[in-house]
Amino acid sequence: MNRIVGYNKSVNDVDFTIKKGETVGLVGESGSGKTTLGRCIVRLYDSTAGSIKFNVNGKMTELTNLSTKEMKNIRKNFQMLFQDVYSSLDTRMKISKIVTEPLDIHNVGTKKDRIERAKELMIKVGLSENDLEKYPHQFSGGQRQRIGITRALSINPEFIICDEPVSALDVSVQAQILNLLVDLKNEFNLSYLFIAHDLSVVKYISDRIIVMYLGKILEIASSSDIYESPRHPYTEALLAAISKNKAGSKRDILLKGNIPDPSNPPSGCVLHPRCSYARDICKNISPELMPVKGKTNAFAACHLTNELNLKYFN
Amino acid sequence: MNTSENNILIDVRDLAVYFHIEQGTVRSVDGVSFSIDRGKSLGLVGESGCGKTITALSLLLLHPQPEGKIERGNIFFYPEEGNRIDITKLGINSKDIRQRRGNDISMIFQEPMMSLNPVHTIGQQLTETIRLHQKVDRNTAHKIATDALERVRISAPKRRMKEYPFQLSGGMRQRVMIAIALSCNPKLLIADEPTTALDVTIEAEILNLIQELKSELNMSMLMITHDLGVIGEVTDEVAVMYVGKVVERTSTRKLFKEPLHPYTKALFKSRPKIDSKERLSSIEGTVPNPYSQPKGCSFEPRCEVSMDICKNKSPELIDHGEHFVSCWKYNKEEI
């Protein structure tokens, strides 16, 4: 699998970690490699190089070289939430079967225990016990995502990868699901990797944000720093693309053109063909992800980060 | 809306579209009225299942048939000043309506991949529309099509004409859809969630493009979306829909300054704001089951400020100074 070229290098450089109970947002346009990164972590895809470590009972375990059997054991600790709530639930399975399947696979408890667990969780996510007897087509998009959440929680994971879980939902339902995810995180001390293309959603839920573009990490910072003082032109452009929520407003488009073909990324800085600040150095030399001066735990990969006065546009 | 009669392009009055199916009658659109002036745009906003799309489709008599039926109401369309056509009176396959579809009134959809035919080139799909509506030969149609692609800011339009939909990105495909929709210079463009499936960066580009083209061509627009942010950017007026009814209607400026209906207020509050980390206030519950709608105000079960009367009697849409709202909170004298 050669999809995320260079991603692992970025990870080595910055110690990209997710702490227990932390939500890390992963943001970028389609084709940035967000989903691929998420799936590499749980080894749905195998990475070409690099290391992914996960804390299993206090011991950091390297995931990339585990056998399928060992991996299965460790997968109990992670779950995923998907964007498409229609294709991620099997239409021919009853809800009770869908939400207890992870328990079946990992052989947890008796059949009765599993159903008890499912009932308890269904109520927690705002559905009812009776819903266990229904089929997916009987539910709306928001309710289906709640079912997805129940399934993810059933095995009592520590870490959930949320891959655009709200982008297909109505704004009003988005709010319900986001609130639910925050509540569950606090209750069960979960960690999330929250993937989305909309910075306003990511910022709402995340403690820290990783900005990705064409398989590379361009900026990492706390969610308030990202918003108050972005240190990468790409982050600035993503901020400018958020709706201003005002009558008669217009969004600023700071990037030119489309995301390039990932199999043939540009030389130098991956953003330079679209970046309005680009200079000669950007065309030739790829910038490293470096700590931002005067900030802790903030990193940016831009030659000009200390010269540019990037600001938030809204 | 206080504009002179002859500036109106489309005037929808008390439109009702019901679906008669096995499980009962679904009142998808139940007494909707709005009008759009020439060169102006109206936003139709609401959650999924509110009847926005059915309203839009019925303007072209494209609502699912035969189960869906226009029960009552009129859709007056004024292709030229003084020439009034009632679309509801036309046959669904009549020559009269086919003349309007794609020609006077065009539509773009949410999912550009589903709306484009995967086995035909962009060029074939564009020229098909053009030759259907305009009496031109192949070469002229090709020329018009290339110009249309250029108009929606697609680079290398000549090359794109020969490409297939899968070779284009999502944003590009939506541009092609817009090019097809605009190729016959429609008077009204209906845009049904045109940016919902796109990245925010691409969404901003497409919305700006639609705005520019609208003023370039002096076209009217009906923008359907669940996102109030989009409404604020591209519309002059807004109608907020909830379960088949318009619950609030006014200028975009007024709506953003002071939304009146509790549903509109709740929609505003449920959007995450980039400058605050306050807990989102979501609208509890869901849109009511279409087969068993509440007797009174349809929003009552989810409303935070509901009163006794709301449970029993459905409020009318009442004018509060060019700001129409249907909520008992605002017409107390009638209680």
Check: CB of residue A50 under 8 Å from CB of residue A12.
yes
- Quick one: pLDDT band at residue A313, thresholds 50, 70, 90? low
Report the SS3 class of residue B294.
coil
Cis peptide before A266 (omega within 30 of 0): no
Q: To which residue do tokens 């690099």 refer?
A: A50
* Helix, strand or coil, per DSSP, at residue A264: coil
CA distance A190 to A205: 13
Q: What stretches of B91-225 show up as alpha helix (H) in DSSP?
A: 95-100, 112-115, 122-133, 138-151, 157-161, 170-182, 200-217
Number of H helices, E strands in chain B: 12, 12
Q: Indicate whether B213 belongs to any domain.
A: yes
- Local confidence band at A10 (pLDDT 50, 70, 90 cut-offs): very low
List phi, psi (to 5°) of A125: -90, 5
Residues of A in contact with B256 (CB under 8 A): 245-247
pLDDT in tens, A163-174: 999 988 888 888
Number of residues that this document lists for chain B:
335
The amino acid present at B195, given as its one-letter code, is T
Q: Does B255 touch chain A (CB under 8 A)?
A: yes
The answer to whether residue B285 neighbours chain A at the CB level (below 8 Å) is no
End-to-end CA separation in angstroms for chain A: 40
B232:A174 CB<8 A: no
Put simply, the answer to whether B282 touches A172 (Cβ < 8 Å) is: yes
Work out how many domains chain B is built from and give that number. 1
| Among A residues 262-301, those touching chain B with beta carbons less than 8 Å apart | none
Taking all residues of chain B, what is their mean pLDDT, rounded to a whole number? Answer: 89
User: Please, which pLDDT band fits residue A182 given cuts at 50, 70 and 90?
Assistant: very high
With CA atoms as reference, report the closest residue to B250 among B178, B324, B186, B160. B324
The mean per-residue pLDDT over the stretch B26-40 comes to 93
Kindly state whether residue B154 falls inside one of the protein's structural domains: no
If pLDDT is split at 50, 70 and 90, which confidence band does A1 have?
very low
Examine the pLDDT at A314 and tell me if it is beyond 50.
no
Say what the pLDDT of residue A200 is: 87
The residues near B247 (Cβ < 8 Å, ≥ 6 apart) are B240, B241, B261, B263, B264, B299, B317, B325, B326, B327
The strand pairing partners of B15, in sequence order, are B32
Each residue's pLDDT tens digit, A194-248: 999 888 899 999 999 999 988 888 999 999 899 888 999 999 999 988 888 888 8
Q: In terms of residue numbers, what domain contains B52?
A: 5-104+186-334
For residue A35, give Cα distances in angstroms to A30, A44, B32, B146, B230.
9, 11, 42, 36, 26
Q: Residue with structure tokens 């959007």?
A: B271
- List the one residue out of A237, A158, A152, A165 whose CA is nearest residue A195: A165
* Dist. CA B263–CA B269, nearest whole Å: 10
C-alpha to C-alpha distance for B288 and B1, rounded to whole angstroms: 30
What was the pLDDT predicted at A189?
92
Q: Which residues pair with A56 in a beta bridge?
A: A59
| Residue A255: CB atoms within 10 Å | 23
In sequence order, what are the residues at sequence separation of 6 or more whose Cβ sits closer than 8 angstroms to the Cβ of residue A311?
A229, A230, A236
Q: At what angle do helices B170-182 and B200-217 cross, to 10 degrees?
A: 10
Domain for residue B161, yes or no?
no
Tell me if A171 and B48 make a contact (CB, 8 A cut-off): no
Q: Characterize the bridge pairing of strands A216-222 and A290-291.
A: unpaired
The alpha carbon of residue B145 is apart from the nearest alpha carbon of chain A, in Å, by 22
Q: How sure is the predictor about A33, in pLDDT bands with cuts at 50, 70 and 90?
A: confident
**Residue B227 domain flag:** yes
**Measured distance CA(A32)–CA(A265) in Å, rounded:** 11
CA atoms of B315 and B330, how far apart (whole Å): 10
Contacts of B284 in chain A (CB under 8 A): 176
- Is the Cβ pair B267, A171 closer than 8 Å? yes
pLDDT at residue B333, as a whole number: 60
Instruction: Decide if B279 and A238 are in contact by the 8 Å CB cutoff.
Output: no
- Share the mean pLDDT of chain A: 86
CA B236 vs CA A255, B50, B322: distances in Å? 27, 21, 13
Query: Residue B120 domain-assigned?
Result: no
Cα R_g (chain A), whole angstroms = 21
pLDDT bracket for residue A311 (50, 70, 90): confident
Residue B111, in any domain of the structure:
no
Helix axes A111-124, A141-154, angle to 10 degrees: 130
Whether the pLDDT of residue B4 is over 60: the answer is no
**pLDDT tens digits for range B297-333:** 999 988 989 999 999 998 999 999 899 999 999 876 6
Residues in Cβ contact with B239 at an 8 Å cutoff, skipping those fewer than 6 apart: B32, B34, B42, B43, B44, B45, B246, B248, B249
pLDDT digits (tens, 9 = 90+) for A250-285: 888 888 777 777 777 788 999 999 999 999 999 999
Residue B41 is part of a domain; what is its CATH number?
3.40.50.300
Q: Residue A216: its pLDDT value, please? A: 86
Q: A241, B201 in Cβ contact below 8 A?
A: yes
Q: What is residue B79's three-state secondary structure?
A: strand
- Alpha-helical runs (H) found in A76-140: 95-105, 111-124
What integer is the mean pLDDT of B70-86? 92
- Looking at residue B58, its amino acid is S
Confidence of residue A15 (pLDDT cuts 50, 70, 90): low
The percent of residues above 90 in pLDDT, for chain A, comes to 46
Cβ–Cβ gap A29/B201 under 8 Å: yes
pLDDT tens digits along B147-200: 999 888 888 899 999 999 988 888 888 889 999 998 888 999 999 999 887 888
Q: Of A49, A55, A45, A43, which Cα lies nearest the Cα of A17?
A: A55
> Average pLDDT of A25-33?
84
Please state the rounded mean pLDDT for residues B92-119.
87
Note whether B49 contacts A140, CB cutoff 8 Å.
Answer: yes
Dihedral sign of CA atoms A182, A184, A189, A193 in order: negative
Contacts of B266 in chain A (CB under 8 A): 172
Residue A181 Cα distances to A39, A140, B273, B280, angstroms: 20, 18, 17, 12
CA atoms of A114 and A184, how far apart (whole Å): 19
> How is residue B254 written in tokens?
């007024």
pLDDT on residue B335: 52
**Which amino acid would we find at residue B89?**
K
User: Whole-angstrom Cα distance, residue B55 to residue B241?
Assistant: 10
Positive/negative CA dihedral, A275, A277, A279, A282? negative
Strands of B83-86's sheet in order across: B24-37, B8-21, B68-80, B83-86
* CA dist A172 → A85, A106, A168, A175, B305 (Å): 16, 35, 12, 5, 18
Average pLDDT over residues A286-298: 88
3-state class of A255 per DSSP?
Answer: coil
A212 and A37 in contact (C-beta within 8 Å)? yes
Cβ contacts from A onto B, under 8 A: 128
Q: Determine whether the interchain pair A172/B267 forms a contact, defined as Cβ–Cβ distance below 8 Å.
A: yes
Helical (H) or strand (E) element with A70? helix A68-75
CB contact under 8 A, B204 and A29: no
Burial A175-192 (b: 16+ CB within 10 A, else e): bbbbbbbbebbeeeebbb
- B5 — pLDDT class (breaks 50, 70, 90): low
Distance CA B331, CA A17 (A): 57
Of the partner residues B200, B279, B286, the one whose CB lies closest to the CB of residue A197:
B200
State residue A243's pLDDT score. 84
Which residues of chain A from 127 to 186 reach within 8 Å of chain B, CB to CB? 140-143, 170-176, 178-179, 182
Mean pLDDT of B89-102: 89
Q: How far is B99 from chain A (nearest CA, A)?
A: 34
**Residue B117's CB: how many other CB atoms inside 10 A?**
12
Sign of CA dihedral A14, A18, A20, A25: positive
pLDDT tens digits, residue range A117-139?
A: 999 999 999 899 999 999 999 88
Task: Let me know if residue B253 belongs to a domain.
Answer: yes
CA–CA–CA angle B28, B232, B177 (5° rounding) = 65
Which pLDDT belongs to residue B202? 85
Residue B112 resides in a domain: no
